[in-house]
Chains A and B, each alone.
Chain A
């Protein structure tokens, strides 16, 4: 009787594992057959750890569409899992998937986990945009410390749309020849002083916007 019960339990477990494997995301069929199980395994591990899997699927699909070698795709997905995990450790367990993805990008850009934690404490709303703006500023050449200080100063009181506008202003100034550090401090001062003058910023929502 005991043997029968043990066998039944084992069969049920094997069936569940097979079902989970069969339920693999159909979009991964675009990957090379030799790469697909490796990526699926990484994604399953991330899912088991409670991390969002959609950014991982998208990263793998990006690699497939761009014709990247299999090992590069697997490596990119693994690195993103590590970044997402580190972002969750810094931001806390209740962090939303968009926040985690933006946090991972900020970490990859060079921001430290302490900056992410400070941003979480500084702003009661979602911090997806502040994190993304931080990552984008660093990508534009702004030193990490300057970018982090500016975003932290603005995050608690500035709306998402104004943070994106702040980032655009910095990039515009850099394109015109301003040193990145000076561009970010100038734009931060302007954004901080202009907050009381935003009377009809919501009207921008109704028209298609540019990135």
Chain B
């Protein structure tokens, strides 16, 4: 019984002593993995700086200090231009140039008035296309939306734009037109 056990042990030892066959390409694969890994390959001063930056630290912070930092970050978010949380989407704010044209023979002056210039006749005077010509034009930048407007000829005569839809909700007895500016 004892002799039989010794034989078994010897066979096991002999089996364990046999050299293990390893794939010759293992070395190169391991080296490739190491070279392609995320560990930065830095040296000298850069290495020290990297270790300083990546070393974990314990920071003691009072609740008041935490609140102050949070308030500061919140204020920074609100102050930064273009980062306001309730800012309108770009499609609603981008402006486009619109050209308004009216034919007004024998007019001395023509003004464009509408929702975009507070209906102020002095704000957007139109220009004759040629000296003394009947075609008057004005270019106005408009944000997306729907605007009512009209032409005021010689300070007293109101004209709607024949090339634009009429304002249906006109309650003041003189014609107005409507321009719609899209955002997409």
Contact = CB atoms under 8 A, between A and B. Distances in A.
The answer to whether A and B belong to the same complex is yes
Interface of A: 27, 55, 57-58, 61-66, 68, 72-73, 75-76, 79, 96, 98, 101-102, 105, 108-109, 125-126, 128-129, 131-133, 135-136, 138-140, 159-161, 163-164, 167, 171, 205, 207-211
Contacts of B113: 65
Contact of A128 (B97, B169, B183): B183
A27 to B, nearest CB: 6
Given A76-B172, A105-B169, A210 B182 contact: no
Contacts of B158: 66
B152 to A, nearest CB: 8
Given A62-B115, A108-B169, A163-B182, 13 more contacts: A55-B115, A58-B115, A68-B173, A79-B171, A96-B92, A98-B145, A105-B169, A105-B178, A126-B144, A129-B180, A161-B182, A164-B180, A210-B163
B107 interface: no
B139 A140 contact: no
A208 B139 contact: yes
A211 B177 contact: yes
A59 to B, nearest CB: 8
Interface string B148-184: 1000100000100101111111011110111110111
Contacts of B104: none
Contact of A125 (B91, B164, B166, B167): B91
A167 B99 contact: no
Given A68-B173, A72-B171, A211-B179, A128 B144 contact: yes
Nearest to A107: B169
Contact of A61 (B99, B119, B146, B184): B119
A64 B146 contact: no
Given A66-B158, A101-B145, A126-B91, A138 B172 contact: no
Contacts of A58: 115, 118-119, 148
B169 A125 contact: no
Contacts of B178: 105, 132, 135-136, 139, 211
Contacts, number: 134
B165 A209 contact: no
A211 B98 contact: yes
A129 B97 CA distance: 17
Contact of A66 (B144, B173, B183): B173
Contacts of A109: 168-169
Nearest to B166: A139
Q: Nearest 10 CB-CB pairs, A to B?
A: A160-B182, A211-B179, A208-B99, A211-B164, A136-B165, A98-B145, A132-B180, A139-B168, A65-B119, A132-B146
A131 B158 CA distance: 27
**Among B96, B145, B152, residue most surrounded by chain A Cβ atoms (within 10 Å):** B145
Nearest to B161: A211
B110 interface: no
12 contacts: A72-B171, A98-B145, A101-B145, A102-B180, A105-B146, A126-B183, A128-B182, A135-B178, A138-B168, A161-B182, A208-B98, A208-B139
Nearest to B179: A211
A102 B165 contact: no
A210 B99 contact: yes
Contacts of A64: 119
Contacts of B164: 210-211
A62 B119 CA distance: 6
